[in-house]
């Protein structure tokens, strides 16, 4: 409806500008829903926006626009209000048309082509494959997944991507941790490094390694720990301790055997992550390997490109990127003094690769703790003379779990954390996804486990799904009573829908395409979650106030058509969110 009104105003403005020989660029026409129905259904401030450039009184402009408006059946009245607002009053038929539109378009209702097929890459989660996904990753997974679906619904060509950090120091620490647990499985006695990965999953991988390869990687603990600097509990430095053990693992095992241990840990955890995300309803078009950038030489090429452009300098054997030249707070190391490229060097090469693939927009979704990383990545993009405006970095705040009023603790490397799988098993995929996107991603989130499991109206996902199930139950009752329902015939009786609850529902249904498009363009899936709870509230209110299967056959048919449209929109919106629409509860 907004687009139809914009078209009307556009035609009127064309006449207005020709009449006054205006040559400036016209502002974008804005149409908003009115909060007070006495002011009509929609309003535009275009007359006030034109007042200054046209050097005319806004009410006079509004008057001339009204005179030039083409006639239409869906507008019954147009009024000028206040300083020059143009208020539109829609006909009853126009309000009822949304029911026909919903049922005609079905699952396509609400979709738009505002994206014009532009290619958008969305990279999200991308957790290091050093352990299972935890509940913090879950919020990023839900947010990235729904943002991608929203963009697709708005007509963008979306490429979903997971960046696999399968190279670098943390992966070497994981490989070393797996090997040390393997030695433990073989009966060697030693103190496990305080900075190693200590979760039970590491023991599981090590046990599988022992079963598959026997004693192929067995060395004595005394040989492994010989000349290794002290760990932190013994008065040493935990970072130096684990790095020395990593170097020892590589030298003692040799390249081939070390690669077997490394890949065993990587693949076990990465496969677990793939399965976990798939069961959570999060799928990807591509799993992009950091190692591929290293092995193809792309990291070295990116570093060399920056050197040639004069954006790197050498200090104490290390190569530094002049990120302060582009607004960063300090310069950053890209190649260490030992010749090893940093994570940042890989990220530079990865973003160069993204641009080379020809995406119109690039969206990185990171945890809020990566806020400080944004300036250096933007700086790298600018230094390579790439369009920095194409890159959008969206931050997701942490989610804190509560069981009632009790906070559920979290830790990381110790292995003591609540995994995404545990959360999903406890509250279900639907509740987890819905709860994760109920608040803006930039806002702190408290996740109430007990509320998410409850079957009550206080639980928003239950409340929405129950609305869908209730409509389904109405049609089951219809069949049980032997009544026939003809959707085409029912369209002839929509004039019977005059109750305030019915008008409210029709108005709410007509908002869905606007909400979908706004949520997509602003990357705000919480708007869709809020819309669904509002639609469910209006439906439940209607359900509790009126009977749908009544003696007045025409009224009954019209009401059934209305609630059928409600069911379709709820199903469409839940589908975008990756949440099911059950037919019974």
The kind and range of the H/E element at 310 are none
Q: Which tokens hold the place of 6? A: 């914009």
Q: How far apart are CA 580 and CA 213, in angstroms?
A: 44
Looking at residue 418, its pLDDT comes to: 83
Nearest residue to 297 via CA among 364, 241, 346: 346
Residue 413: is its pLDDT beyond 50?
no
Cross-strand pairs, 519: none
Domain end position, chosen among 73, 90, 107: 90
Distance between CA atoms of residues 401 and 408, nearest Å: 5
| Structure-block tokens of residue 281 | 């309803």
Tokens representing 528?
């869709």
For position 123, what pLDDT does the model report? 98
pLDDT at 411 over 60: no
| Dist CA 226 CA 222 (whole Å) | 6
User: Residue 398: which pLDDT band, with cuts at 50, 70 and 90?
Assistant: confident
Are 429 and 280 spatial neighbours (Cβ–Cβ below 8 Å)? yes
Residue at a domain's end among 90, 122, 155: 90
End-to-end CA distance of the chain: 35
Q: Are residues 469 and 570 in the same domain?
A: yes
Higher pLDDT, 359 or 399: 359
In this prediction, residues 231-245 reach a mean pLDDT of 95
Q: pLDDT per residue over 33-67, tens digit each?
A: 888 888 888 999 999 999 999 899 999 999 999 99
CATH number at residue 37: 3.30.1360.70
Contact call for residues 398 and 368 (beta carbons, < 8 A)? yes
Average pLDDT, the chain: 93
Please report whether residue 196 resides in a domain.
yes
Asked if the structure places residue 147 within a domain, the reply is no
Q: Where are the alpha helices (DSSP H) in 106-163?
A: 135-153
Per-residue pLDDT, 549: 86
User: Residue 417's pLDDT is what?
Assistant: 65
On whether residue 542 sits in a domain, the answer given is yes
Q: Which of 240, 256, 278 is the last residue of a domain?
A: 278
Task: Tell whether 50 is covered by a domain.
Answer: yes
pLDDT tens-digit readout, 68-102: 999 888 898 999 999 999 999 998 898 999 999 99
Calculate mean pLDDT across residues 408-418.
Answer: 55
pLDDT tier, 566 (very low <50, low <70, confident <90, very high otherwise): very high
pLDDT for the residue 242:
96
Compute the average pLDDT of residues 131-140.
Answer: 92
157-164 β-sheet, strand order: 286-289, 157-164, 119-123, 361-367, 391-396
103-128 confidence digits (pLDDT tens): 999 999 999 999 999 999 999 999 99
- Indicate the pLDDT class of residue 290, thresholds 50, 70 and 90: very high
- Return the half-sphere exposure (C-beta side, CA atoms, 13 A cut-off) of residue 385: 4
Which of 54-58, 175-179, 387-391 is predicted with the least confidence, judged by mean pLDDT? 54-58
pLDDT in tens, 296-307: 999 999 999 999
Q: How many CB atoms lie within 10 A of CB 280?
A: 24
Instruction: Answer for the pair 177, 201: CB distance below 8 angstroms, yes or no.
Output: no
Helix (H, G, I), strand (E, B) or coil at 187: coil
Residue 412 clears pLDDT 60, i.e. is over it = no
Per-residue model confidence (pLDDT) at position 4 = 87
Q: What is the pLDDT of residues 483-531, one digit of tens each?
A: 778 889 899 999 999 999 999 999 999 999 999 999 999 999 999 999 9
Question: Which residue bears the tokens 């942490």?
Answer: 398
Q: What is the average per-residue pLDDT within 424-449?
A: 94
Whose CA is closest to 24, among 51, 2, 3?
Answer: 51
Q: Tell me the two tokens of residue 302.
A: 């990116």
In Å, how far are 91, 197, 201, 245, 507 from 178, measured between CA atoms? 70, 8, 9, 12, 59
26's tokens: 């016209």
| pLDDT surpasses 80 at 404 | no
- State how many domains the chain has: 3
In a domain, 431, yes or no: no
Does the pLDDT of residue 570 top 80, yes or no? yes
Average pLDDT over residues 328-344: 92
Please list, in sequence order, all residues whose beta carbon lies within 8 angstroms of the beta carbon of residue 433, skipping any fewer than 6 positions away.
142, 145, 146, 280, 281, 577, 578, 579
Domain for residue 362, yes or no?
no
Phi, psi of 335 (to 5 degrees): -135, 120
Bigger pLDDT: 421 or 73? 421
pLDDT at 416 over 70: no
Average pLDDT over every residue of 230-248: 96
Model pTM above 0.85:
yes
pLDDT of residue 409 exceeding 70, the answer is no
Cα separation of 53 and 24, whole Å? Answer: 7
**pLDDT on residue 405:** 77
Please say whether the beta carbons of 508 and 565 come within 8 A: no
pLDDT for res 159: 98
Specify whether the CB–CB gap between 468 and 574 falls below 8 A. yes
**pLDDT, tens digit (0-9, with 9 covering 90-100), for 264-273:** 999 999 999 9
Structure tokens at 396: 């997701």
* Domain range for 67: 2-90
Q: Is the pLDDT of residue 253 over 50?
A: yes
DSSP state string for 321-383: E-GGGGT-SS-EEEE-TTSPBPHHHHHHHHHHHHHHTT-SEEEEEEEGGGGGGHHHHHHHHHH
CATH number (domain holding residue 493): 1.10.730.10
């Amino acid at each position: 409806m907004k687009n139809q009104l914009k078209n009307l105003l556009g035609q009127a403005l064309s006449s207005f500008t020709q009449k006054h020989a205006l040559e400036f660029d016209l502002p974008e026409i804005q149409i908003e829903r009115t909060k007070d129905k006495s002011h009509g259904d929609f309003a535009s401030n275009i007359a006030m926006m034109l007042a200054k450039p046209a050097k005319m009184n806004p009410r006079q402009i509004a008057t001339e626009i009204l005179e030039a408006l083409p006639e239409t059946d869906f507008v019954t009245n147009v009024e000028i209000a206040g300083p020059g607002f143009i208020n539109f009053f829609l006909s009853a038929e126009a309000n009822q048309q949304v029911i026909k539109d919903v049922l005609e378009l079905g699952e396509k209702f609400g979709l738009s082509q505002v994206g014009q097929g532009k290619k958008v890459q969305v990279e999200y989660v991308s957790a290091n494959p050093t352990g299972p996904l935890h509940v913090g990753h879950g919020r990023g997974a839900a947010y990235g997944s729904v943002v991608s679906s929203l963009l697709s619904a708005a007509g963008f060509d979306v490429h979903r991507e997971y960046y696999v950090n399968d190279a670098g120091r943390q992966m070497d620490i994981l490989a070393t941790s797996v090997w040390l647990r393997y030695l433990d499985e073989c009966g060697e006695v030693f103190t496990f490094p305080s900075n190693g990965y200590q979760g039970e999953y590491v023991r599981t991988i090590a046990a599988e390694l022992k079963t598959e390869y026997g004693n192929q990687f067995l060395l004595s603990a005394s040989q492994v720990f010989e000349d290794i600097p002290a760990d932190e509990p013994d008065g040493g430095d935990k970072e130096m301790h684990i790095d020395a053990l990593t170097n020892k693992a590589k030298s003692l095992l040799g390249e081939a055997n070390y690669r077997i241990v490394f890949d065993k840990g990587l693949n076990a955890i990465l496969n677990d992550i793939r399965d976990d995300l798939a069961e959570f309803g999060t799928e990807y078009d591509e799993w992009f390997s950091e190692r591929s950038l290293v092995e193809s030489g792309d990291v070295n090429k990116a570093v060399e490109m920056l050197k040639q452009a004069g954006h790197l300098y050498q200090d104490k054997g290390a190569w530094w990127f002049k990120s302060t030249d582009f607004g960063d707070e300090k310069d950053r190391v890209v190649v260490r003094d030992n010749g090893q490229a940093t994570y940042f060097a890989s990220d530079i090469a990865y973003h160069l690769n993204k641009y080379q693939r020809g995406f119109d927009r690039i969206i990185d979704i990171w945890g809020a703790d990566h806020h400080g990383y944004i300036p250096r990545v933007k700086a790298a993009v600018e230094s390579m003379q790439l369009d920095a405006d194409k890159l959008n970095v969206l931050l997701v705040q942490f989610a804190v779990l509560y069981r009632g009023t009790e906070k559920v603790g979290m830790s990381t490397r110790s292995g003591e954390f609540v995994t995404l799988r545990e959360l999903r098993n406890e509250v279900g995929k639907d509740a987890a996804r819905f709860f994760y996107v109920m608040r803006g991603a930039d806002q702190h989130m408290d996740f109430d486990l007990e509320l998410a499991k409850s079957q009550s109206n206080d639980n928003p996902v239950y409340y929405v799904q129950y609305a869908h199930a209730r409509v389904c139950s109405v049609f089951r009752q219809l069949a049980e009573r032997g009544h026939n329902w003809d959707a085409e015939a029912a369209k002839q009786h929509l004039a019977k829908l005059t109750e305030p609850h019915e008008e409210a529902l029709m108005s709410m249904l007509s908002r869905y395409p606007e909400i979908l498009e706004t949520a997509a363009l602003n990357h705000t899936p919480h708007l869709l979650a809020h819309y669904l709870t509002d639609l469910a509230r209006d439906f439940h209110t209607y359900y509790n106030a009126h009977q749908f299967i009544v003696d007045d056959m025409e009224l009954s048919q019209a009401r059934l058509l209305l609630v059928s449209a409600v069911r379709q929109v709820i199903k469409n919106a839940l589908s975008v969110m990756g949440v099911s629409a059950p037919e019974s509860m």
